[in-house]
Amino acid sequence: MNLYGWIQLALYILVLLLLTKPVGLYLIRVLDAGGRTFLDPALRPVERLLYRLLGLDPKKEQDWKQYTLSLLAFSFAGLLFTYAILRLQHVLPLNPQGFGPVSPDLAFNTAASFATNTNWQNYAGEITLSYFSQMVGLVFHNFVSAAVGIAVAAALVRGIARPSAKTVGNFWVDLVRLNLYLLLPLSTVFALFLVSQGVVQNFKPYEKATLVEPSNLQAPKNDSAAQTIAQGPTASQAAIKMLGTNGGGFFNANASHPYENPTPLSNFIQMLLIFLIPSGLTYYLGRKVKNQRHGWAVWSAMAILFLAAVLVCWRAESYGNPRLHALGVDPADGNMEGKEVRFGVFNSALFAAITTDASCGAVNSMHDSFTPLGGMIPLFNIQLGEVVFGGVGSGLYGMLVFVVLAIFLTGLMVGRTPAYLGKKIESYDVKVSVLAVIILIFSILGFSAWASVSQWGLAGLNNAGPHGLSEILYAYSSSTGNNGSAFAGLNGNTFWSNITLGLAMLFGRFLMIVPIMALAGNLARKKLPPPSEASFPVSGPMFIIILIGTVLIVGALTFLPALALGPIVEHFLMTGSGILY
């Protein structure tokens, strides 16, 4: 833990803080069907044309059921669309490497992965997918799945803010406007920026480079004298994968690949892009519910949880592994296994915390190679529900579920039926909120438990003992949480893993969205009395503590036993005995 790290951390948080309000204000315009933006002259005609093509009246809003049905129908159609492209990529254009069709289970897994904003990659992009599959089949989802997440968050915020309302917005309008005014322009700008940093953007076949010194470090090695250098339209995908917290790398090595993340500046900007929209959404929340302090309180709770995660991870990684120190590794280097030397311990730890606090899943280091506690942080972040800034939209709606539960748990202590910003939290709201939480827990623990005692689950493991359990837990946490990063020691590209991971992603996304939309609809119809002295305080240190406490207690109480058998035991084994996994 050195001064450069502290300076970068402070700079990162400061820039994020400064961008929160402008992004939030812009979101308010984008998420209002009649909102005006500076892009109107260019994009308004396109928007109108799209509505005409869809036969849509943008002024007509939907109730929560119509909104949810539209969303599910759209996402399911997108899933089928991508599945078809992956299966047919050998007959589709832009396939200079001549890749064959993707296997059915892997195609299902990949289609589910991108439709759910997970971007778990059981394939290696550069040896499996054509440029067409990447650009059309996957990047399409990078945009729309991000928009779907933001749309749900917007619907929930509308539900909280509106007094006695029947509708929560129009899904199609939100979808069109989010893509048109927010995601496309921003990702275009940042794609160009990434190109300026050296990220590749072309349709060329892969290059062969002759090695100066033949390599024989890894086996099997097909090109010990020459190296294949993958190419492709990377920058356009890299920008939206961060901005939309998708995380699916163009290359298998993701953001640790020099063509995807070449410079310290590109690294900084990519990390910033991950939190940009989630952070702005907290401002959007505050503005919409007419309580900006509440928006900032939610932001602060997230920021504190984020800082804690970074610090623990950074501390564990810079401390390194005592067993390796004993073998003569300089303790001052920290744990550099699986890390890019360009990024070092701090930027790897920071990136790992950001990408798992959010549901991004892009990585610039290999989480599997972190120390047990350093690696537990990304895992625990995901298990908390990725509510620390979180995925675009999904972070906010996940956090708002915790807000509802926190207020319900402690709100009685002010002597009234708990109410969130004046809206009473009644049995229906509690029911759908706990449903959203239970689904995640069922999926993560259920699938992990199954995999940890089954042939197919154990077959994919590269590591035994507690570390193997961590890998399994990480896989199902990451897929259920729609994160997409991995403890890559686990080979997920087997039939059963493809199916179970794919299902976990679908459960974690859509089975969570339905109860949350129900919550939005139910909150919307409630009366909204003006705030008074008796209102539950939803800002200030007390609220922030309660919110953090609820997130941690629900997360810790649920996952602690499993974590105890995974990273915690591994940590003690590392420090207390000679065993190393």
Where along the sequence are the contacts to other proteins (CB under 8 A)?
A: 163, 405, 408-418, 422, 425-427, 429-431, 434-435, 437-438, 441-442, 445-446, 448-450, 452-453, 458, 465-466, 468-469, 527-530, 532-537, 540, 542, 545-546, 549, 553, 556-558, 560-562, 564-566, 568-569, 572-573, 575-577
Amino acid (1-letter code) at residue 33: A
Phi, psi (rounded to 5 degrees) for 419:
-140, 140
Q: What is the per-residue burial (b if ≥16 Cβ within 10 Å, else e) of 243-267? A: bbbbbbbbbbbbbbbebbbbeeebb
Token pair for residue 198?
């050296």
Please, are residues 367 and 487 in contact by the beta-carbon 8 Å criterion? yes
Least Å distance between CB 358 and other proteins? 24
Least Å distance between CB 116 and other proteins? 22
Widest CA span in the chain = 76
92 versus 435: smaller Cβ distance to other proteins: 435
Least Å distance between CB 284 and other proteins? 24
225 versus 412: smaller Cβ distance to other proteins: 412
188 versus 417: smaller Cβ distance to other proteins: 417
96 versus 549: smaller Cβ distance to other proteins: 549
Least Å distance between CB 357 and other proteins? 23
Q: Distance between CA atoms of 34 and 296, rounded to whole angstroms? A: 26
Residues 6+ apart with CB under 8 A from 482: 116, 117, 118, 359, 386, 391, 394, 505, 508, 509
Least Å distance between CB 475 and other proteins? 14
Least Å distance between CB 319 and other proteins? 16
Helix, strand, coil shares of the chain as percentages rounded to 5?
65, 5, 30
Q: Which helix (H) or strand (E) holds 211?
A: none
341 versus 557: smaller Cβ distance to other proteins: 557
Least Å distance between CB 288 and other proteins? 18
347 versus 448: smaller Cβ distance to other proteins: 448
394 versus 558: smaller Cβ distance to other proteins: 558
Pairing state of beta strands 226-229 and 419-420?
unpaired
145 versus 443: smaller Cβ distance to other proteins: 443
Q: Helix or strand or coil: residue 464?
A: coil
Amino acid (1-letter code) at residue 403: V
The tokens 């910033």 sit on which residue? Answer: 272
Least Å distance between CB 556 and other proteins? 8
Q: Distance between CA atoms of 386 and 142, rounded to whole angstroms? A: 18
Least Å distance between CB 263 and other proteins? 42
Question: In the 8-state DSSP scheme, what is residue 529?
Answer: P
> What value, to the nearest 5°, has the Cα angle with vertex 216 and ends 210 and 218?
110
125 versus 492: smaller Cβ distance to other proteins: 492
Least Å distance between CB 481 and other proteins? 16
Amino acid (1-letter code) at residue 7: I
164 versus 210: smaller Cβ distance to other proteins: 164
Q: Distance between CA atoms of 427 and 144, rounded to whole angstroms? A: 33
Burial class (CB in 10 A: 0-12, 13-18, 19+), 501: buried
Q: Distance between CA atoms of 430 and 240, rounded to whole angstroms? A: 35
Least Å distance between CB 451 and other proteins? 9
Angle between helices 372-383 and 344-357 in degrees, nearest 10 = 20
Please, are residues 119 and 483 in contact by the beta-carbon 8 Å criterion? no
Please, are residues 378 and 485 in contact by the beta-carbon 8 Å criterion? yes
358 versus 407: smaller Cβ distance to other proteins: 407
Least Å distance between CB 396 and other proteins? 22
For 100-114, give the secondary structure using H, E and C: CCCCHHHHHHHHHHH
204 versus 416: smaller Cβ distance to other proteins: 416
Q: Which helix (H) or strand (E) holds 280?
A: helix 264-288
